[in-house]
Chain A
Amino acid sequence: MPDTGATSVVADIGFEREMGALRKEIVHWIDSCDGEIREALKWQFIAGSKYFRPLTVFSCYRARNDADIPPTIIRSALLIELFHNVSLVIDDIVDNSETRRSRLTLHNKFGQLAALMTAGYIVADGFCLARDDLQAILLFSELLKRLAAAECMQWRLRRQPLGVEDWRKIAGEDTGSMFEVAACLGDGTERLRKFGGLLGLLYHGCDDVADVRGTTALGGGGYDDLRDGILTLPAALAIRDPKIARVFCNPNTDDLQRLAHAFREKLPQAEAYLDSIAEAARAEAQLFAANPKPLFALIDHTRQLSGQ
């Protein structure tokens, strides 16, 4: 699951006060947790997050309600951040990632057992915090099930000559499901669910593209995906060429550079495709939000994540 963010997004969209309240909630929650787990939680939560998902919760609330963000929505934002971090911890273990947000990943810092137990602890306490909100319980239950299935699907479908529609399916169930839930928590009526899904798809695609750019410039980012044969958006476009598809399905170490080059060549096409997703998200916001402005701002900030 990608985790890229824009530094100025909170200030630009205008939820500084709510973000301040959210940070306090996170600190308060960590202080209330078992001392055995607390250090790991601090390591995971107190650094570097851009809070894109909580921002989506706030923006979707504001898009349908002309009122201050109430404490129940701050609580929803806390919950989405908790469950998002569970997915990050598990992802980092599965991908064997050394660093996240420029510091050691949780399992590298505290060991795999501690990381797995911390993830389980967060899930359990997340549901405990949501105990008075049946809608939230159902949404988070849906989210965890979809994420689990999406991760299995993504791994099962690696190194296969699939298409852009398959990429949409994977990205929609992976990052898309998280943003769908964030939108539903904020709007409370499910009317912005599709918007959330499209925003997540856009986020995932922009991250894919930024990773390919990162591979070019820094030798980082997309290397894991390249090595594992993960179907990213530039990959799905590049493997329409049968020669590239053959290499993608069965690469040796020397082929990775060739694949990276083929993916880079598809960046303009990938950017155009991302524009079409952004346009669809904008249309959803226009149709189903009383005040679509905060949603437009979210789309614009997300779109910039590709580094275009």
Chain B
Amino acid sequence: MVDTENGNKTTHGPSASADALLELASVLRNMYVAGSLAVENILSEGDFRGVTERFAPFLDPMQRARFHDAAEAGVGANEDMPPGGATGKAADLASLVAQTYLIAVVSGLRYWRRVAETYRTHESAIARSLMARAAVPSMSDGERRALIDEIRAYLREVGDISFQEARIVQTDLDKLAAEVARVVSNGDESAHRRRWKTKP
């Protein structure tokens, strides 16, 4: 490996790359443990009720103020609504917005945990191959192909995780958006229907 940073040209041996790889593995494992613990703590709460209060410090103050103003002004209220109905609705919306934060946080942690798990699955084969190479620099064609295949599988799986995680978040946000629409329309589906006719 050649390090040309700051104009210095340093050559490291093959064992240095194997060490760096193992170090990376150790960092990823630590992240996995930390991430898993955090996810477990959040998910052990069971459901999302009360997340507004729990995540209040994370909510953007401007956004909270906006919900407060909307409730004060009676936005979303209608004649059939009991007193305080608009405030309740704004609180519902605030709760939904808080859930977007929760979805993002959980997704991020889950992503890193899965990447670390994937690495752990492939780590031994990749590290073994690299170490074998360090010990015997000339690698046979078969060994080289097996190593390349293993690394490609690892990279593909990491890409798959990113793609799948993005789709999970998208699905969760779609559900949330439908819930927001329901809260705003007071559960009245007809609010979204066209009330006019096209020209004859």
Contacts A165-B153, A194-B164 given; does A288 touch B145 at CB 8 Å: no
B149 near A191 (CB under 8 angstroms)? Answer: no
A245 near B142 (CB under 8 angstroms)? Answer: yes
Closest B residue, CB atoms, query A283: B164
B145 near A161 (CB under 8 angstroms)? Answer: yes
**Bound Cα distance A284, B156 (Å):** 16
Q: Contacts of A284 on B, CB cut-off 8 Å?
A: 164
Count of interface residues, chain A, beta-carbon cutoff 8 Å: 15
- B3 to chain A minimum Cβ distance, whole angstroms, is 30
Mask, A152-169, CB within 8 Å of B = 1, is 000000000111110010
Asked if B30 is an interface residue, CB under 8 A from chain A, the answer is no
Asked if A125 is an interface residue, CB under 8 A from chain B, the answer is no
Interface core residue of A165, A191, A284 (most chain B CB under 10 Å) = A165
Mask, A204-222, CB within 8 Å of B = 1, is 0000000000000000000
B152 near A191 (CB under 8 angstroms)? Answer: no
Mask, A275-297, CB within 8 Å of B = 1, is 00000000010011000000000
| Chain B contact patch, size range | 10 to 19
Asked if A241 is an interface residue, CB under 8 A from chain B, the answer is yes
B146 near A240 (CB under 8 angstroms)? Answer: yes
Q: Contacts of B141 on A, CB cut-off 8 Å?
A: 161, 242, 245
- B114 to chain A minimum Cβ distance, whole angstroms, is 11
Closest B residue, CB atoms, query A236: B149
Q: Contacts of A191 on B, CB cut-off 8 Å?
A: 167, 171
Closest B residue, CB atoms, query A193: B167
Closest A residue, CB atoms, query B163: A194
Q: Contacts of B142 on A, CB cut-off 8 Å?
A: 240-242, 245
Query: In chain B between 45 and 59, which residues have their CB closer than 8 angstroms to a CB of chain A?
Result: none
Q: Contacts of A168 on B, CB cut-off 8 Å?
A: 156
B149 near A165 (CB under 8 angstroms)? Answer: yes
A163 near B145 (CB under 8 angstroms)? Answer: yes
Contacts A242-B140, A245-B142 given; does A287 touch B168 at CB 8 Å: yes
- B166 to chain A minimum Cβ distance, whole angstroms, is 11
Q: Contacts of B153 on A, CB cut-off 8 Å?
A: 164-165
Q: Contacts of A162 on B, CB cut-off 8 Å?
A: 145
Mask, B97-138, CB within 8 Å of A = 1, is 000000000000000000000000000000000000000000
Closest B residue, CB atoms, query A284: B164
Query: In chain A between 13 and 33, which residues have their CB closer than 8 angstroms to a CB of chain B?
Result: none
- A247 to chain B minimum Cβ distance, whole angstroms, is 13
Asked if B148 is an interface residue, CB under 8 A from chain A, the answer is yes
**Bound Cα distance A241, B168 (Å):** 40
Contact of B149 among A164, A242, A245, A288 (CB under 8 A): A164
**Bound Cα distance A241, B142 (Å):** 6
**Bound Cα distance A242, B140 (Å):** 8
Closest B residue, CB atoms, query A244: B142
Q: Residues on A close to B: CB < 8 A?
A: 161-165, 168, 191, 194, 240-242, 245, 284, 287-288
30 residue pairs A–B, Cβ–Cβ below 8 Å: A161-B141, A161-B145, A162-B145, A163-B145, A163-B146, A163-B148, A163-B149, A163-B152, A165-B152, A165-B153, A165-B156, A168-B156, A191-B167, A191-B171, A194-B163, A194-B164, A240-B145, A240-B149, A241-B142, A242-B141, A242-B142, A245-B141, A245-B142, A284-B164, A287-B164, A287-B167, A287-B168, A287-B171, A288-B167, A288-B171
Q: Residues on B close to A: CB < 8 A?
A: 140-142, 145-146, 148-149, 152-153, 156, 163-164, 167-168, 171
Given contacts A240-B146, A284-B164, 13 further A-B contacts (CB under 8 A): A163-B145, A163-B149, A164-B149, A165-B149, A165-B153, A168-B156, A240-B142, A240-B145, A240-B149, A241-B142, A287-B167, A287-B171, A288-B167
The 7 closest A-B pairs by CB, nearest first: A163-B149, A242-B142, A165-B152, A240-B146, A242-B141, A165-B149, A164-B149
